[in-house]
Chains A and B, each alone.
Chain A
């Protein structure tokens, strides 16, 4: 019973805050409305017994949205994001896409022949889900993760305007290094 109440509160909350993202006139409010929507979507995971995933989604979403708020407001066209703004661009097109996607997904939910539950839920659903998703592909996943990380690092290194020859001279012997500032960002 209480699970159903929590689920519906979260479902309605997620939709309402999701709509609020496009109704509010401030970048900061839009960001945190989106965050609230994500948190509402994470709580049903806890109801499914996926406590690790649920708490992790909350953790990562908060962190991600705060970092995103910093960059969004920094890069928005209005000064520091302090001016009223709207999140909606290409209003007609986005409306069509949003309504279309919703209709397709909703009809899918109603029309699909959902399977009946067979057997009992596992003792540790998070572990079972991890095995189902990763299973024998764990090594592949780890290598892919490492590859992605290496890509990020090399992209930053390539994009950085100053290299070690700028800092230490042509024969890398200049000490102390020629840095515009002390600390990071040199």
Chain B
């Protein structure tokens, strides 16, 4: 190794620049060590101690630049100097954008921008109440997507919200459309004068999508969270939202959607509805309402809710034109079934769609086993119950623990489809596909190969699987409903116009087979 010093007289650089350059030069190949420094006495001592000071460098003065390096005898000195000059001439690499600070605190965001009017919270359940409380404290409405919030916390949050004139949509709220903006899992629908309030995300999506298909637009769609109509909460959010819709000039017809609430809660809502002359469609899934005021029409399914609302909006819908074909479809499917194929196995991404399906199936098929059963004794966490019909909500906590929701990623459902198809007793595989904001980019595209495998699994037993599906969404959605349906049909899947219709078809296919 040899020490090389090149001195450039009166060539001043500040020390930081030189240190930066020296750092870069460490990467130059073939050099044992390298440094560029001004020739001050102190620096010459430093170079000396680093064994980098040659005789030329020793004579350098404070305004002279020393290029010092230690390298093998045969190194190309000019090449090294070229490398050094390259570094000297380089501009400082452009810094990161000065504004690019990652925001980690919601409170900071609230403080920085007073215009914020909604906090969308999807943090793990145990922290959700803390975050929601913060949002309320800073005067923000809350869309609380998180689940696993205790009912006590929910009651507390909603009481605070009422006090401040704010709205808490949730917890476990999936969908809302405010001022035409889809929030969470939502669909692109036409604007109009139907305002909806729903305790159910996919229930809401189903109704607005069916309305959209019937050219009926919506003004607002407000989510309340699944437990809002429980006695402990007392429909706090629904009642607030009702006030808002009653006062909203753009809303002429109001639709309320929920699973059957407690009697006391029904009474509260009915009493509130008597305050308005706006027309109201009340969809408490499967529950009969007997004392509704004149402006209120009670319906039992999401499908009925959509049809009734369209009717009230003066539309005579052709929505169920396909209904007459159901019998043909059912017959065709039945002809292919082997004798052992007896049961409907429904695998759902949408919880309320699953619930509606159970209502429809249950009308004639009897008990439907489910993880969200109509009656407690029908509870199962297994997607297959031997000798029984099953309808499973795969979006339920039990299945999504640590996994993405089947609306976001289909892989969770894929494995269950194969399991169901492999059971020789399965006659009908019933599926929903939910598209729109938040949903997978091409859910059917992911689903079709799995369905092909499922058919093979059934064929292994000499069976032919009847596959019935429903696509919840609109043609304005990015995934495009028509395109998704076409792909399903190409794969031999029967696709219906409403979810309830899919359930009716499934029901018809297996009718009388298990007796």
Are the chains A and B members of one assembly?
Answer: no
Interface residues of A (CB under 8 A from B): none
Interface residues of B (CB under 8 A from A): none
